[in-house]
Structure 1
Amino acid sequence: MRDVQLSNTLKKISPLAMGSEAYEFLNMLIVEAGLSKETVKSYGKDLRGFLEYCGRMGAAKPAELGIDTVSGYLRMQVESGLSPATAARSAAAVRTFIKYMISRNLIDNDFTILIETPQRPENLPEVYSIEQIIKLLDSPDIERDKFFYRDKAILEILYASGMRASELARLENKDINFRLGYLRCTGKGNKERLVPLANSSISHIRNYLERERPAMEKPAGAGNLFLSRLGNPLDRTNIWRIVKGYAARAGIPNFTTHSFRHSFATHLLSGGADLRSVQEMLGHSSVTTTQIYTHLQENQLIETHKKHHPRG
């Protein structure tokens, strides 16, 4: 674990009640579960508050941990004014940690089913029209933008595949199959999936590979598809900035890399794609997660009816 912030999180957790168990748990999330360091840092932050509370309540060992202590901690968080989303995330971290200790026979009874999780509010992402997306895709200017071909390929792939910015940053040259027209994407938990690409996206990738990338390549980014001006692999922050810049130019200031993902799914479903196929392409482990886009469609239909029907 070379990440400095993650190392500091682990150092702060180790001396606490059940700190050694939490330390091993967080290591397991990276080594065995394959979670990103950012996700593990979030888990560590949530567990630190929980372990401090356990110490104050006299639950210093796994065997001393019970439903009353856990419920008391989660109730305290809600009453302290945390948002439902933050409280729900913390509850998920605590529940996963307890299940880990149960799997290691450190706790005899599985009481996690009795833990009430604060419900996340249903914050539906903003829907962007096809016209807005096309305007954004057309915003790079070959005369104005130094890395026109790279940026054009990035925008086209994000909309054509629905992939996350972090997934795009990990793409390598070998992940693109030009002959069959798909890319191989590595998502959360290091799970791989195949996503079809539109012919226009493939064309823009070819242009970038032939006209820009050879001059940008340095040893540090030899295998990566998208490179910075210094030849290093682009990270998700770089990609976020690129998208935000072109979105502002297109007059869509609140647009982010994830907005492409929402638009990809919504436009597919609006065009008649089935939910399971969209689930596979997004890399969702459960179709329940994908169903948010059916709600977007329902809301859009209601608004259209209100706006255009005589009795709306």
Structure 2
Amino acid sequence: MSSRGPGTRATHQALPPAMRDAVDGFAVHLAQVRNRSAHTVRAYVADLVSLLDHAVRMGCTAPADLDLGVLRSWLAKQRTTGAASSSSARQAAAARTFSGWAHRSGLLATDVAAPLATPKTRRELPVVLRADQVATLVESPGRNRPTTQGRDRPTTPGHDRPTTPGRDVPPAALPDAPPAGTPSDPTTGGATPELDPAEEAVLVRDRALLELLYATGARISEVCGLDTTDIDRERRVIRVLGKGNRERTVPYGLPAQRAVDRWLAAGRPELAGPDSGRALFLGARGGRLHPTTARRIVAGYARAAGLPPTSPHGLRHSAATHLLDGGADLRAVQELLGHSSLGSTQIYTHVSVERLRAAYRQAHPRA
């Protein structure tokens, strides 16, 4: 198993053999024993390579040479480079996780990182859209018609290239566009051209994507990872594989059901190709829709509709906040979002309290 990303390969190869073996063993432990996501493995391994490189510069030749002073020196150096508090917290967590694993594996005599303090991070309140703004966003495909230049659009029939996961061409940010039918296209004498079936299919997909993101509050990676078999149309729920490969069942509403049904009946068959497999959402070339592409789709429609800058995670924030504003139980929202800790969900109660406070100041005679 390779434990190096493009940014850490050279440094990893420059480490002493014992250090390299420790990096590879730690990566296997994270992926296969701790069942961490590929993103977490990459981040922790990159932090470990940076730590061990720093240790080598301080005279260490093997993991057994590490001590608390080396770890603190490395973290201090990271802070002097302007690392964000969230990055510092992750680096400290990576150091503690490695130290604990190395001690259990016999590479360290003691767990040297046990006394290591975690830098406090400031939790920013998420920016959420109002319900009417979300409605504007999810209804944008077909209303605020985006231009096809630079975005996820079908290729000429017969010339579609196979697309591998992660390589689907992401669309550029969608520019502001007039509503469909507005005389605005100089190449057609002022008339907006009709879309061909494949381009219509992309709009149908975009509507279903936006509806499902808001209806379920799921992460963009979770939605893009859905297969057609993960949808239970009778019970109106989806089966989501979340962080740590934890599976959960999430309900969705009638608007999302209508949009997904239309996509499955009239949109997906138009884009499907040899590389589609069972993927629910497809890119314009027939491969599974990549999260990067989906993020740009969401951001583009938000810009075209004149809304605040919005991401798929913003829709997740909005869904959670609207549920709590509507009286949903906090633990139910935790289950819906797939949070392992209730503390991760409680941030949305702060958003609701802020809205309550704003309404109080505006409406109460003695506020």
Q: Is the 8 A contact 2:2 2:24 kept in 1?
A: no
- Alpha-carbon distance in 1 for matches of 2:354, 2:342: 19
Instruction: After TM superposition, give the deviation of residue 8 of structure 1 in Å.
Output: 6.1
Distance in 2 between residues matched to 1:80 and 1:151, nearest whole Å: 40
Residues in 1 aligned to 2:300 and 2:101: alpha-carbon distance in whole angstroms: 43
Aligned to 2:69: 68
Partner of 2:47: 46
Encode CA deviations 1:145-171: one digit per residue, 9 max, x unaligned: 622221111011000111111111110
Distance 2:94 2:73 in 1: 15
Q: CA deviation at 1:309?
A: 2.6
C-alpha distance 82-6 of structure 1, shift in aligned 2 (>3 A): closer
Post-superposition offset of 1:307: 2.7
1:277 pairs with 332, 338, 343, which one?
A: 332
* Unaligned runs of at least 5 residues, structure 2: 144-179, 181-194
Cα distance in 1, alignment partners of residues 332 and 366 from structure 2 = 36
1:6 corresponds to: 5
Distance 2:70 2:357 in 1: 45
1:220 paired to 2:275: yes
Q: Does the 8 A contact of 1:221 with 1:232 survive in 2?
A: yes
Question: How many pairs were matched up?
Answer: 311
Show the counterpart of 2:109: 108
- Residues 3-30 of structure 1: per-residue CA shift (max 9 Å, x gap): 9x72663553244252320122123323
* CA drift at 1:289: 0.9
Mean CA deviation greater in 230-239 or 100-109:
100-109
Residues 78 and 70 of structure 1: is their aligned pair in 2 closer, same or farther, counting only changes over 3 Å? same
Matches within 5 A, 1:1-312: 6=5, 9-10=8-9, 12-17=11-16, 18-141=19-142, 146=200, 147-312=202-367
Conserved 8 A contact 1:71-1:116: no
- The C-alpha deviation readout for 1:179-234, integer Å capped at 9, x for no partner, is 11100001111111100111221121111111111121112112100111211110
8 Å contact 1:14–1:20 — kept in the other structure?
no
TM-score scaled by length of structure 1: 0.92
Contact 1:160 1:264 in 2 (8 A): yes
- Cα distance, 1:80 vs structure 2: 3.9
CA contact (8 A) 1:161 1:196 kept: yes
Give the drift of 1:263: 0.6
2:238 is paired with a residue whose SS is strand
* C-alpha contact 1:19 1:51 (8 A) present in aligned 2: no
Corresponding residue of 2:169: none
C-alpha distance in 2 between matches for 1:80 and 1:179: 54
Mean alpha-carbon deviation: is it higher for 268-277 or for 60-69? Answer: 60-69
Q: Relative to 1, partners in 2 of residues 1:86 and 1:151: Cα closer, same or farther, differing over 3 Å?
A: same
Matching residue's letter, 1:37: A
For the residue of structure 1 that corresponds to 2:114, the secondary structure is helix
Residue type at the aligned position of 1:66: D
Q: Look up the SS of the partner of 1:183 in the other structure.
A: strand
Residue pair 2:30, 2:36 contacting (<8 A) in 1 also: yes
- Structure 1 position 172, deviation (Å): 0.1
Secondary structure at the aligned position of 2:61 is classed as: coil
Q: What RMSD, in angstroms, separates the aligned Cα atoms of the two structures?
A: 2.1
Q: How far apart, in 2, do the equivalents of 1:113 and 1:289 lie?
A: 24
Q: Residues of 2 paired with 1:58 and 1:260: CA distance?
A: 49
Does the 8 A contact of 2:11 with 2:53 survive in 1?
Answer: no
SS at match of 1:73: helix
Asked if the contact 1:182/1:195 (under 8 Å) is kept, the reply is: yes
Q: State the alpha-carbon separation in 2 of the partners of residues 107 and 48 from structure 1.
A: 17
> Counterpart amino acid of 2:321?
T
Per the normalisation by structure 2, the TM-score is: 0.79
Q: What is the CA–CA distance in structure 2 between the aligned matches of 1:27 and 1:53, rounded to whole Å?
A: 22
Q: How far has the Cα of 1:78 moved from its partner?
A: 2.5
Which residues of structure 1 form unaligned runs of 5+?
none
More helix, by proportion: 1
1:246-284 C-alpha deviation (Å, 9 max, x unpaired): 111221241111001101111111111111111111111
